[in-house]
Amino acid sequence: MVGVSLLHTSREMFKPFFTSALIAAFFAAAPAGAEVASPFGYPSTTLDAPATLTEPVGQFVQFGRVPFFLGNTGLSEVAERYHAARLREGAGYFERDFACFTGTEGGRPMIVWLIATASSEITEAQIEWVKDDREVPRTCGKLDARNLPVRLGLTGLGMTEKEVAEHIGKPSHEDGFGWKFWFSQRFLKNARGLEELELNWVGLKFKDGRVDRGFASFTRNP
């Protein structure tokens, strides 16, 4: 467990990055039969997780064997590589660009959202199954077998709770509604010798004992 002041610092440092995405997407839900038009809303319990980890478990999203590191990979680079449209919503701290990618894992259609909040670099990644009553947006890039499976760090859709625990350990928080969170923070020195606070979240929603959707988010502040 972290101290109250440290947890408060984490939340404050996180606001420009994650809160803007939260406000823009909290509990967003498309009507039945509609396209999966934008990233899903984050659970409100995300910020209840204490920083129990000192090493991040969700630094990258991986397409097949190709990793893209959060905070170090431009969204345009990935969108162009897989022929996805880059879309924008909001303004200022609430501005975010995103692109979607789709493929099939285990015979089920899935979708990946890469998000750049107030940045040109990817700050968040989301994965989820495409439900039977939804359609994948035509703007999504197509992932073939060479670019699958998709992983958030070492975790992915369809994994059991035991498999996830074997890969990334005990969660920092469980909200009682199917979500489990892994939250790390650490202080690093940048190229100028200045100390930076790095925060990394992984959130996984379990349904019937397996990962049904998930996200990874990253921010670093001097």
Cα–Cα distance, 9 to 35 (Å, whole number): 38
pLDDT for 65: 96
Cα–Cα distance, 145 to 160 (Å, whole number): 22
pLDDT for 218: 94
Nearest to 203 by CA among 175, 180, 173, 170: 180
pLDDT for 29: 40
Cα–Cα distance, 180 to 219 (Å, whole number): 20
Cα–Cα distance, 113 to 140 (Å, whole number): 9
Cα–Cα distance, 59 to 166 (Å, whole number): 17
Distance of CA 3 to the CA centre of its chain: 25
pLDDT for 128: 97
Cα–Cα distance, 219 to 200 (Å, whole number): 7
Residuewise pLDDT in 10s, the chain (222 residues): 232 222 333 444 444 444 444 444 433 344 444 566 789 999 999 999 999 999 999 999 999 999 999 999 999 999 999 999 999 988 877 889 999 999 999 999 999 999 999 899 999 999 999 988 788 999 999 999 999 999 999 999 999 999 999 999 999 999 999 999 999 999 988 878 888 899 999 999 999 999 999 999 999 885
178, HSE (Cβ side, Cα atoms, 13 Å): 12
pLDDT for 35: 61
Cα–Cα distance, 219 to 55 (Å, whole number): 14
What's the mean per-residue pLDDT of the chain? Answer: 86
pLDDT for 11: 44
